[in-house]
């Protein structure tokens, strides 16, 4: 599958997904991603994957 | 007078007035426009083009004009290529296939006669927040431009037109997502030389012009000339503000955004609700630095309500038709890429079967377009535009142990949620044609001459007919 990782925004708790699985671990951790809701930018390494998915 | 969006809207008002709704109430570009479209779809099963005259721009200021949902109804596309609305089926597919294989070379005009140059903003004067760029879906990363991106091919081969999504990032910056086709290849060449790729976004022109962006023309081909063939007259081009004669832009567009894709720069872009009906995930994608915006004084911002019926994929259907027709040499009867397959994943092909093996040849020709995951070939008595008929053929002329083939490990769409990474797909080919050389059962029916002689109204009054509710089954 196209592997998407569900992310819980550490700032506003919005849940969204990114495609980062094809990037090597260290390279992936240094990539920046942004929350579609609060627009804050985070390093992948600082993001938490969210298994619950979907916003309430 | 050159053909442009205004010309088309006049035609639409004359021929299909009910399918163009003007909404003057204030409305937000963020979610509200697309919510109206979604409710029209979900609650009323209606897909009119919407001309909204009082939309908020990205800054929040009212007063912008937006036109959206222009290609949701195939009758509107038929009008764009000079067909009558009722010619939305086979005639539309074959007309686009025929026109897209022709060329009418563009003509050059002075900027002083170009409507798109009525207002010019360059450098620091540019502020994309002035534009009513829509935010379509709940999880979308930002507002998105959803129309034609133009890049120049190397070696004097002309221009490439393609639909791409461009994410608003700030006053002078956009993101871009490119599937691995022509725009991607052209940018890759520039990037190898560490050079930016000049890019022009055309947000609003006659819909026949936009069809060139959905066509799959061969590489050595100027797609401004394809747009000319679809329009039936030369596209009028004028020098860009950024590159002058070295990059020409359509003079009769509503808005042109000039910029360059930066080499070796990647930033997060997405998510974005795509034509597949799913959000394409946020990815590390290239960045467009915007240099200039030119537009008509009273411009109309054109949007595509992507992820719904308003998809430009009819260009793919026409290309499937062209490839199969080239292969079958006169025995192709119809091609339809239905909405159930998002107008890109499924193809129904009707043929006059003269020999066993012809359905497989037709399927192979269709498959060369890529993306297709399901190809069903039916006999000429089955209407490929009627999905119930196609499934009837599958139910009664198909056996899975004999009539099924799978082609594995073919290029898929990076937007297909079920595809592997790197995008790998499989094509399922179903031969739902009757076998030749042995007697086959006949479909039920009443005598044809009675169907011509008898009128239902002779037996059931029309007011009673009108009152009968459509069946649910």
Question: What pLDDT sits at residue B227?
Answer: 98
Q: How many CA atoms lie within 13 A of B320 on its CB side?
A: 33
Region B66-70: mean pLDDT is 97
Does the pLDDT of residue B357 top 90, yes or no? yes
Contact B300, B67 (CB under 8 A): yes
Picking from B142, B284, B417, the nearest residue to A2 by CB comes out as: B417
Confidence of residue A55 (pLDDT cuts 50, 70, 90): low
Q: Tell me, what's the pLDDT at A54?
A: 64
Tell me the whole-structure pTM to 2 decimals: 0.94
Which position has the higher pLDDT, A49 or B176? B176
How many CB atoms neighbour CB B82 within 10 A?
14
Q: B261 — phi, psi (to 5°)?
A: -80, 120
Whether residue B268 and residue A16 make contact (CB cut-off 8 A), yes or no, is no
State residue A49's pLDDT score.
76
Q: Which of B6-15, B32-41, B192-201, B416-425 has the lowest mean pLDDT?
A: B416-425
**Given a cut of 70, is residue A52 above it in pLDDT?**
no
What number is the average pLDDT over the span B117-138? Answer: 98
Does the pLDDT of residue B51 top 90, yes or no?
A: yes
Token look-up 């002309």 returns: B158
Q: Give the pairing of strands A48-49 and A5-8.
A: antiparallel
Length of chain B, in residues:
473
Given a cut of 80, is residue B318 above it in pLDDT?
yes
Which whole number is the average pLDDT over B206-224?
93
Give tens-digit pLDDT for B271-284.
999 999 999 999 99
Q: Is the pLDDT of residue B261 over 70?
A: yes
Q: What pLDDT, on the 0 to 100 scale, is given for residue B411?
A: 84
pLDDT at A3: 77
As a whole number, mean pLDDT of residues B421-445 equals 91
Mutual angle of helices B207-214 and B90-100, in 10-degree steps: 80
Res. B118: pLDDT tops 80: yes
Nearest Cα to B360, choosing from B407, B392, B397, B319? B407
In the predicted model, what is the mean pLDDT of residues B48-61? 97
Lowest-pLDDT range of B119-128, B184-193, B290-299, B464-473: B464-473
d(CA B373, CA B418): 11
Per-chain mean pLDDT for chain B: 95
By C-alpha distance, the chain B residue nearest A33 is B268
Residue A1, pLDDT above cutoff 60: no
Check residue A53 and give its pLDDT: 63
Q: Is residue B282 a contact partner of residue A33, using CB atoms and an 8 Å limit?
A: yes
Which of A20-24, B18-22, B124-128 shows the lowest per-residue confidence on average (mean pLDDT)?
Answer: A20-24
Residue with tokens 């930018």: A41
Q: Do B414 and A41 touch (CB under 8 A)?
A: no
The answer, for A43 touching chain B at a CB cutoff of 8 Å, is: no
* B223: closest CA of chain A, how far (Å): 32
Contact B281 A32 (CB under 8 A): no
User: Predicted confidence band at B78 (pLDDT cuts at 50, 70, 90)?
Assistant: very high
Of B244-258, B308-322, B409-423, the range with the highest mean pLDDT is B244-258
Question: What pLDDT score was predicted for residue B155?
Answer: 87
Q: Provide the pLDDT for residue A26.
A: 82
pLDDT number for residue B371: 86
Closest partner residue to B282 (CB to CB) among A2, A18, A23 is: A18
Q: If you measure CA to CA, which chain B residue comes closest to A28?
A: B284
Q: Which of A13, A36, A42 to mutate to test the interface with B (most CBs of B within 10 A)?
A: A36
Distance from CA of A10 to the nearest CA of B (A): 16
Q: What is the structure's pLDDT at B206? A: 98
Average pLDDT over residues A26-54: 85
How buried is residue B10: exposed, middle or buried, by Cβ count under 10 Å (0-12/13-18/19+)? exposed
Which of A24-33, B75-84, B330-339, B445-454 shows the lowest per-residue confidence on average (mean pLDDT)?
A24-33
Asked if ipTM goes beyond 0.85, one says: yes
CB pair distance less than 8 Å for A36 and B142: yes
**Residue B411 CB contacts under 8 Å (≥ 6 apart), including other chains:** B370, B371, B423, B424, B425
pLDDT at B420 over 80: no
What average pLDDT score do residues B88-104 get?
Answer: 96
Q: What is the pLDDT of residue B421?
A: 66
Size of interface A-B (CB pairs under 8 A): 56
Q: What is the pLDDT of residue B336?
A: 97
Please state which of the ranges B190-194, B231-235, B339-343, B433-437 shows the lowest mean pLDDT.
B339-343
A17 interaction partners in chain B (CB closer than 8 Å): 271, 279, 281-282
The domains found in chain B, sorted by start residue, are: 5-302 (2.30.110.10), 314-432 (3.40.1670.10)
pLDDT of residue B268: 95
Between A41-50, B172-181, B374-383, the lowest mean confidence (pLDDT) is in A41-50
Contact list in B for residue A32 (CB cut-off 8 A) is 267-268
Average pLDDT value for residue range B193-210 = 97
Does residue A56 surpass a pLDDT of 60?
A: no
């Amino acid at each position: 599958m196209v592997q998407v990782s569900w992310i819980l925004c550490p700032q506003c708790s919005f849940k969204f997904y990114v495609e980062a699985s094809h990037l090597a671990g260290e390279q992936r951790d240094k990539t920046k991603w942004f929350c579609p809701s609060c627009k804050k930018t985070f390093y992948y390494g600082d993001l938490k994957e969210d298994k619950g998915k979907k916003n309430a | 007078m050159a053909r442009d969006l205004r010309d088309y809207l006049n035609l639409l008002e004359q021929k299909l007035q009910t399918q163009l709704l003007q909404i003057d109430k204030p409305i937000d570009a963020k979610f509200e426009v697309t919510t109206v479209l979604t409710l029209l779809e979900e609650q009323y099963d209606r897909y009119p083009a919407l001309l909204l005259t009082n939309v908020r721009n990205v800054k929040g200021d009212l007063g912008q004009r937006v036109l959206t949902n222009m290609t949701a109804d195939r009758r509107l596309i038929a009008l764009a290529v000079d067909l009558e609305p009722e010619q939305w089926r086979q005639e539309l597919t074959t007309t686009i296939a025929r026109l897209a294989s022709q060329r009418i070379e563009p003509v050059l005009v002075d900027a002083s006669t170009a409507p798109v140059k009525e207002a010019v903003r360059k450098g620091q004067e540019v502020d994309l927040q002035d534009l009513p760029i829509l935010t379509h879906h709940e999880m979308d990363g930002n507002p998105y431009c959803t129309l034609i991106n133009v890049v120049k091919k190397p070696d004097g081969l002309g221009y490439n037109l393609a639909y791409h999504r461009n994410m608003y990032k700030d006053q002078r910056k956009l993101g871009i997502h490119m599937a691995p086709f022509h725009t991607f290849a052209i940018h890759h060449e520039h990037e190898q030389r560490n050079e930016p790729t000049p890019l022009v976004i055309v947000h609003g022109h006659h819909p026949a012009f936009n069809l060139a962006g959905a066509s799959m023309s061969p590489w050595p081909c100027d797609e401004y000339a394809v747009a000319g063939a679809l329009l039936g007259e030369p596209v009028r081009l004028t020098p860009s503000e950024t590159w002058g004669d070295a990059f020409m832009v359509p003079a009769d567009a509503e808005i042109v955004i000039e910029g360059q894709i930066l080499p070796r720069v990647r930033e997060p872009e997405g998510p974005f609700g795509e034509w597949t009906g799913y959000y394409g995930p946020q990815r590390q994608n290239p960045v467009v630095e915007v240099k200039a915006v030119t537009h008509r004084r009273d411009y109309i911002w054109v949007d595509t309500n992507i992820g719904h019926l308003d998809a430009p994929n009819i260009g793919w259907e026409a290309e499937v038709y062209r490839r199969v027709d080239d292969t079958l040499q006169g025995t192709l009867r119809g091609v339809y890429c239905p909405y159930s397959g998002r107008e890109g994943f499924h193809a129904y092909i009707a043929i006059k079967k003269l020999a066993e093996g012809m359905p497989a040849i037709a399927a192979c020709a269709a498959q060369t377009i890529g993306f297709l995951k399901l190809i069903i070939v039916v006999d000429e008595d089955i209407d490929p535009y009627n999905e119930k008929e196609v499934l009837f053929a599958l139910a009664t002329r198909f056996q899975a142990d004999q009539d099924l083939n799978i082609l594995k490990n073919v290029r898929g769409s990076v937007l297909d949620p079920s595809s592997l990474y790197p995008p790998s797909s499989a094509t399922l080919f179903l031969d739902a044609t009757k076998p030749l050389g042995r007697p086959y059962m006949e479909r039920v029916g009443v005598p044809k001459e009675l169907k011509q002689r008898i009128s239902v109204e002779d037996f059931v009054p029309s007011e009673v007919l009108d009152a009968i509710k459509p069946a649910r089954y």
